[in-house]
Amino acid sequence: MSRSSEQSPVGGFRARLHTIIFEADTPAGKAFDVALMWAILFSVIAVMLESVAPVRERHGTALSIAEWAFTAIFATEYVLRLVAVRRPLDYARSFFGLVDLLAILPSFLSVLFPGAQTLLVVRVLRLLRVFRVLKLGHLLGQAEILMTALRASRGKITVFLGFVLTVVVIMGSVMYLVEGEAHGFDSIPRAMYWAVVTMTTVGFGDITPKTIPGQFIASVLMIMGYGILAVPTGIVSVELAAAARGPVDTQACPGCGNQGHDLDARFCKSCGSVLDWTPPKPPPTP
């Protein structure tokens, strides 16, 4: 608590620790990140293997040793992170701080509540830690473009999802009425589950219409779902194209400072000043 309120710059040891743990510019920082990434991946694979009954029976001891080793590594890392940051409490309450804590808690809790399956699964959330370690420059840029496109599509996608859910509720109710409990549509929620399975073209086949009108309505729903798939795709395509064009608009008008001019504009579209035009650089050779 007292440490979290102190505003002084971080000292020599903690500064170096911060550079290694939180940054990836130095060789030490990079090595730390790579080592941590492998530890995360192996620990997640160990959790998966533990869920396979024959593996658990044969290699149970080895897996629990590995589990404690990973817990020790992640716990040490968690303490070092707390030491390295200026405001440990802020870190501990941040999203990744909680994920880091969740990575070590289950092993300690499993001593108190042995064999709880839930704890096993919580450990899989360690995978999320990969995203904090991952600092691959150009991929981040690509992810940024994708996120921009998705964020710009948010409104349209909300409208789209609202439409899909309305169709699911109404079609589910109709099929519950038409097919009835005898054919597996034994409640509206279950019929809605079937409508989602059908409309998204997944088609498990665990529940299927048996009557002629039911199969006809299902056909309509399938063709709708097949065609409707075009809508989010179109939305994302258009927004991705816009996001990819985005970085073009970097030229500011010398007269009014306005931006967002087209590539071939020679006069500012706001004040009419001549734009300080230089031929754009050739695209970088890969």
Binding to a copy of itself (CB under 8 A): which residues in 35-64?
Answer: 44, 47-48, 51-53
Look at residue 244 and give its three-state secondary structure.
helix
CB closer to a copy of itself out of 86 and 190: 190
Sign (positive or negative) of CA dihedral 171, 172, 177, 183: positive
Rounded CA gap, 55 and 157, in Å? 43
Contact positions with a copy of itself (CB under 8 A) in 136-165: 138-139, 141-143, 145-146, 149-150, 155-161, 164
Smallest distance, a copy of itself to C-beta of residue 156, A: 5
- 248 in contact with a copy of itself (CB under 8 A): no
Tokens 């492998």 belong to residue: 38
φ, ψ (nearest 5 deg) of residue 108: -70, -40
- 279 in contact with a copy of itself (CB under 8 A): yes
- 205 in contact with a copy of itself (CB under 8 A): yes
Residue of the chain from 62, 93, 241, 276 that contacts a copy of itself (CB under 8 A): 241
Q: String of b and e for 174-191 (b: at least 16 CB within 10 Å)?
A: bbbebbeeeeebeebebb
- 196 in contact with a copy of itself (CB under 8 A): yes
Smallest distance, a copy of itself to C-beta of residue 166, A: 6
The DSSP call for residue 187 is: S
Look at residue 285 and give its three-state secondary structure.
coil
Contacts with a copy of itself by CB under 8 A: the residue count is: 109
Q: 267 - beta bridge partners?
A: 274
Amino acid at 66: A
CB closer to a copy of itself out of 85 and 217: 217
Smallest distance, a copy of itself to C-beta of residue 30, A: 19
Residue of the chain from 218, 247, 276, 284 that contacts a copy of itself (CB under 8 A): 218
Q: How far is CA 125 from CA 30, 74, 99, 197, 269, in A?
A: 23, 13, 7, 27, 51
Smallest distance, a copy of itself to C-beta of residue 19, A: 26
- 135 in contact with a copy of itself (CB under 8 A): no
Residue of the chain from 206, 247, 284, 285 that contacts a copy of itself (CB under 8 A): 206
Residue of the chain from 13, 113, 260, 276 that contacts a copy of itself (CB under 8 A): 260
Sign (positive or negative) of CA dihedral 106, 109, 111, 117: negative
Q: How far is CA 205 from CA 3, 110, 184, 196, in A?
A: 59, 39, 11, 12
CB closer to a copy of itself out of 108 and 204: 204
Smallest distance, a copy of itself to C-beta of residue 124, A: 4
Q: Is 205 left (phi over 0), alpha (psi -120 to 50) or beta?
A: left
The mark string for 61-100 relative to a copy of itself (x by CB under 8 A, - otherwise) is ----------------------------------------
Residues 208 and 130: beta-carbon distance below 8 Å: no
Residue of the chain from 204, 247, 284, 285 that contacts a copy of itself (CB under 8 A): 204
Smallest distance, a copy of itself to C-beta of residue 22, A: 21
